Amino acid sequence: MNVLLLAGGLGTRLRPMTENMPKPMAPIVNRPWLEHLILHLKEQGVQRFVIALKHYPEKIKNYFGDGRRLGVSIQYALEEKLLGTAGAIKNAESLLDEQFIVLNADIVHDIELIPLLDFHRSHEGKVTIGLTEVEDPSAYGVVEQDDTGRILCFVEKPRLDEAPSRRINAGIYIMEKSVLAAIPSDREVSIERETFPLLIGDNIGVYGTTIRGYWADMGTKERYRKIHWDLMTGTSRIPIPGQSRGDGIWIGKGCDIAASAFLVPPVLIGENVRIGARSVIGPYAVVGSKCSIGPNARLSETILWDGCQVNDGANLNNCIFGYGLEIGSRHILHEAVMNRLEVMQA
Ligand code: GTP
């Protein structure tokens, strides 16, 4: 059984960070989420992956290649136009096994596949949807199920008091290849809005089971930030790179941190980072590798991707900065989200 990772969406809600890269390549605790995901699934026994690409496909292909570096095999299904979550699966059909797993590659989770696979084998249906419970289902499509787990319908954005459950589609599916016949080729098709309702209506057996563990959608800037704070406060089993000092502080190799700098947990510092005298980093700060932070700087609730330079006395709160940005001396930035288009080769 191979795994298809859907990674081709435009990621419009996470702009500008996704302006020049696919959303699943955005770093989560200093490592592209897609890399965490592949490594986590490899630990669960998955060896063969297909990645469905559209938006900046070369960013993913160049980073992972054939997967050898991570000890897995990766093939790619490239779309010429945006095909949507079901259209992307249809486009990858020739690369998929008779039974396969699909994951939205922008969901941050530490899922265990075995219970999901056991559930799939326990029923006669053609699709199992992993479900997750949310506090307030009014922004989602909520499932109504019978006692066996069969999904009867999706109720879109119900009022809290009218919701049949608090269980929503977690973006993780096990499918039999025969269901792909229900997806048209060459046009955009949404699995949530079109394919699942059709399959449920045709009574082919769409079942759902609740997945355990951490689950969060990194689709917006607020959620992207919150995922970091969740991971750094121990809410998930997703590994945090760097040497843990055991008190909510992680520091990578080769860092040069002034003795008078103050790290306020939770703080994650990447590799080869320089932090100047009297800087205060944290609480809630992620500093990517090869960043340089000048003396007297302050960073809180802020995420810096690799290679940023924060100059003397700058003060950043609630910010996200893309690769290689420079923040001027004594600049004060609150809630800034910045990215930079790469310089095009002449
Ligand atoms: P927004 O534009 O902010 O809604 O983001 P998105 O469309 O990238 O993400 P969405 O949550 O709608 O999609 C869920 C997952 O499916 C993400 O991992 C997307 O990368 C992926 N996805 C969405 N549309 C496509 C598509 O047309 N092709 C492929 N290959 N993947 C897709």
> Residue 243: how many CB atoms within 10 A of its CB?
12
Residue with tokens 């949807």: 129
Q: Is the CB of 79 under 6 A from ligand 1?
A: yes
Q: Find where tokens 């039999």 sit.
A: 176
- What Rg value do the Cα atoms of the chain yield, rounded? 21
Measured between alpha carbons, how far is 73 from 325 in angstroms, rounded to an integer? 34
DSSP tag of 241: -
pLDDT at 62: 97
| Ligand 1 atom nearest to CA at 54 | 30
CATH of domain 3-217: 3.90.550.10
Instruction: List every span in the chain annotated with CATH 3.90.550.10.
Output: 3-217
Residuewise pLDDT in 10s, the chain (346 residues):
999 999 999 999 999 999 999 999 999 999 999 999 999 999 999 999 999 999 999 999 999 999 999 999 999 999 999 999 999 999 999 999 999 999 999 999 999 999 999 999 999 999 999 999 988 888 888 999 999 999 999 888 888 888 889 999 999 999 999 999 999 998 999 999 999 999 999 999 999 999 999 999 999 999 999 999 999 998 888 999 888 888 899 999 999 999 999 999 999 999 999 999 999 999 999 999 999 999 999 999 999 999 999 999 999 999 999 999 999 999 999 999 999 987 544 3
Superfamily of domain 241-345 in the CATH hierarchy: Hexapeptide repeat proteins (2.160.10.10)
Q: Is ligand 1 within 6 A of the CB of residue 6? A: yes
Assess whether the C-beta atom of 193 lies below 6 angstroms from ligand 1.
no
Cα–Cα distance for residue pair 132/210, rounded to 1 Å:
5
Q: Is the CB–ligand 1 distance for residue 316 below 6 Å?
A: no
Give the length of the chain.
Answer: 346
Q: Is the CB of 83 under 6 A from ligand 1?
A: yes
Q: Residue 346 has what pLDDT?
A: 39
Cis peptide before 115 (omega within 30 of 0): no
Q: Would you state the pLDDT for residue 307? A: 96
Residue 106 beta carbon below 6 angstroms from any ligand 1 atom: yes
> Which ligand 1 atom sits closest to the C-alpha of 77?
30
Residues of the chain within CATH 2.160.10.10 domain(s) are 241-345
Which one of 10, 36, 38, 85 would you pick to mutate in the ligand 1 pocket, going by the greatest count of ligand atoms within 8 A of its CB? Answer: 85
Q: Say if ligand 1 is within 6 A of residue 85 CB.
A: yes
> Do residues 140 and 134 make contact, with C-beta atoms less than 8 angstroms apart?
yes
Q: Is-above-0.85 flag for pTM? A: yes
What is the residue with the minimal CA distance to atom 23 of ligand 1?
9
Residue type, 48: R
